[in-house]
Homo-oligomer: A and B are copies of this chain.
Amino acid sequence: MRQVFHDFRLATRGRGLYEFTNAVAEWLSTQDLTSGLLTLHLRHTSASLLIQENADPDVRRDLEALFSRLVRDGDPLFVHTAEGADDMPAHIRTALTTVNLSIPVNQGRLALGTWQGIYVWEHRHSPHTRTVAAHFIGE
């Protein structure tokens, strides 16, 4: 049993879902380990990790629309506004989703379902560089 670490860096260009399933699969394919547990941890508090449908782009559009209604940019409820009208909503959207994912990998294949993709969900409107710390333990 062995383990490896890696950092994925993603450039985001405003609020939205950025798939990086292929980058994860490609990195795994370069490792000697073929079966084990993959953990992804996003090192930020205003973006999320999400496993979501990767077929119809309207799903991402509707997901965005509903979250924007649940947590409104510039809501007068918020006191923490110094970093912009989208900053506090970004923290809350992160709390409503997650920053950790754990995915089994069996004989070189991620245990994702047919329609599952791995996304960074950027919650800020301005571009950011996001880092995902990856850990893979296995054999």
Chain A residues engaging chain B, CB cutoff 8 angstroms? 1-3, 5, 35-37, 39, 41-45, 50-53, 56, 58-59, 61-63, 65-67, 69-71, 75, 77-80, 88, 91-92, 94-104, 106, 111-116, 131, 133-135, 137-139
Assembled-state Cα–Cα distance A67/B2 (Å): 41
A37 and B35 in contact (CB under 8 A), knowing A80-B56, A104-B135, A116-B45? no
Contacts of A66 in B (CB 8 A): 71, 75, 77-78, 92
- Do the beta carbons of B97 and A95 come within 8 Å of each other? yes
Q: Count identical subunits in the complex.
A: 3
- Do the beta carbons of A98 and B96 come within 8 Å of each other? no
Assembled-state Cα–Cα distance A51/B61 (Å): 26
- Do the beta carbons of A102 and B100 come within 8 Å of each other? yes
Q: List 16 A-B contacts (CB under 8 A).
A: A3-B35, A37-B39, A39-B102, A42-B113, A43-B116, A44-B115, A52-B91, A52-B94, A61-B80, A62-B92, A65-B78, A67-B95, A96-B97, A104-B133, A104-B134, A137-B137
